[in-house]
């Protein structure tokens, strides 16, 4: 029995580079950084005072005053990205189909902004001042639940929380739901709004984030010898997935196909990856097996590429483990050099970039790549975009807790009804 084909028909994004897919993708290809001084809280006393914030986002304009007040910033991002993706897919939700449409939204830390703000009110003014919406606003599943309510999606609905692999897992699991017949259409993606005082202090004290306050645009430098940590970022991304038959029946724009997915764990350390990259390599191999592809068929890899010493070294080792000598012929880029690390939303925006790379035949660069690291010796598409016709691409995400997730996306031939975003 042949496996149900799953395709991507709509995209949406709110990122530090722009508040639409078009704005974000354009900035990415220009090699523009979204990193700057922190404005979301007073960071003057912090070691790190830079981050990649979403700019010019007005939740009241986007969602209305009532809803904007009752959902955390991460859920606001999820709602707007989902609306963009549904509109892009030309998906009409009605009583005839809403029971067969679901949503999975990944997040690493959910409504941490709400937790910080309500705890402040509790300590300063007492328990009666805490918002009655505190608990639903802080829960990681709130974004998925709010998406279901806002768009009337009565199919499968859940959150995935696997740290920085969350939204890659969300997309992969959504595809699996369609394959096993649980839904015809799924909205999948991720959202994060973790640029808050407590989280940034924690990242600083574990020596995980860059301290280049004097040069924010150059702070995220994956695979560069002088990288000194990731740059925290926020935002959201969503995509509409549906069975190939469903997409064809409604003449939907088919942008790419989800060919392979896998998830593993290093079982090594709560934050550090195994230096050999064994768990990541196993994940990539399983995704290739799921896609029924040989390693030599992959033509581009969007790396996890966080700009930390250990991650970039271990991911490079894992790629060489899987692809052997062919690894040196595969372009590998880290778009976190521009977006920063969107944590639980990173996998979704990077999968979206893979879709755009297939659609527009162009590879985004890894910016700030100035000094090669002997331990990171692959083709990282340094500093400038590159034209390349792509058929099969891979997107990697790895997270605290040892989580690994890999997606393989592919070009769909013979579909002329594709429109831009």
Point out the residues that are catalytic: 164, 304, 341
Compute the distance between CA of residue 16 and CA of residue 221 in angstroms, rounded to an integer.
Answer: 16
Segment (H or E) for 26 = helix 21-30
Could you give the count of Cα atoms lying within 13 Å of 148 in the half-sphere of its Cβ?
18
Q: Tell how strand 256-265 and strand 235-243 pair up.
A: unpaired
Compute the distance between CA of residue 60 and CA of residue 83 in angstroms, rounded to an integer.
Answer: 15
Collect all residues with Cβ–Cβ distance below 8 Å to 353 and sequence separation of at least 6.
25, 28, 302, 335, 364
Q: For the beta carbon of residue 377, count every other beta carbon within 10 angstroms.
A: 13
Could you give the count of Cα atoms lying within 13 Å of 102 in the half-sphere of its Cβ?
20
* Nearest residue to 224 via CA among 382, 87, 389: 382
Alpha carbon distances (Å) from 82 to 102, 103, 348 = 12, 9, 12
| Chain centre to alpha carbon of residue 56 | 20
């Amino acid at each position: 029995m042949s496996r149900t084909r799953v395709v991507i028909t709509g995209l949406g994004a709110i990122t530090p580079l722009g508040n639409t897919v078009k704005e974000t993708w354009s900035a990415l290809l220009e090699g523009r950084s979204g990193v700057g001084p922190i404005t979301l809280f007073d960071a003057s006393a912090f070691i790190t005072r830079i981050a990649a914030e979403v700019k010019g986002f007005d939740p009241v304009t986007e969602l209305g005053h009532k809803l904007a007040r009752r959902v955390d910033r991460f859920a606001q991002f999820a709602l707007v990205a989902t609306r963009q993706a549904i509109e892009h897919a030309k998906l009409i939700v009605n009583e005839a189909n809403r029971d067969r449409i679901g949503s999975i939204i990944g997040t690493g830390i959910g409504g941490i902004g709400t937790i910080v703000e309500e705890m402040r009110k509790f300590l300063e003014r007492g328990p009666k001042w805490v918002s009655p919406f505190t608990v639903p606003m802080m829960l990681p599943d709130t974004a998925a639940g709010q998406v279901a309510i806002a768009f009337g999606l009565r199919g499968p609905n859940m959150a995935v929380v696997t740290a920085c692999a969350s939204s890659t897992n969300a997309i992969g699991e959504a595809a699996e739901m369609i394959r096993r017949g649980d839904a015809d259409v799924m909205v999948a993606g991720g959202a994060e709004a973790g640029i808050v005082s407590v989280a940034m202090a924690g990242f600083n004290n574990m020596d995980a984030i860059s301290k280049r306050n004097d040069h924010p645009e150059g702070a995220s430098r994956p695979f560069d010898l002088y990288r000194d940590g990731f740059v925290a970022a926020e935002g959201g991304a969503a995509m509409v997935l549906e069975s190939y038959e469903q997409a064809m029946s409604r003449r939907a724009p088919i942008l790419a196909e989800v060919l392979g997915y896998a998830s593993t764990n290093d079982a090594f350390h709560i934050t550090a990856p195994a230096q050999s990259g064994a768990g990541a390599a196993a994940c990539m191999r399983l995704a290739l097996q799921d896609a029924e592809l040989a390693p030599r068929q992959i033509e581009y890899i969007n790396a996890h590429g966080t700009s930390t010493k250990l991650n970039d070294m271990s991911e490079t080792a894992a790629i060489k483990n899987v692809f052997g000598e062919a690894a040196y012929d595969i372009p590998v880029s880290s778009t976190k050099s521009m977006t920063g690390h969107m944590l639980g939303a990173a996998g979704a925006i990077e999968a979206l970039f893979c879709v755009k790379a297939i659609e527009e035949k162009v590879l985004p660069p890894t910016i700030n790549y100035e000094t090669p690291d002997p331990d990171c010796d692959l083709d990282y598409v340094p500093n400038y975009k590159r034209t390349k016709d792509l058929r099969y691409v891979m997107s990697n995400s790895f997270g605290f807790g040892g989580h690994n997730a890999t997606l393989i996306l592919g070009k769909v031939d013979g579909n002329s009804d594709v429109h831009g975003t």
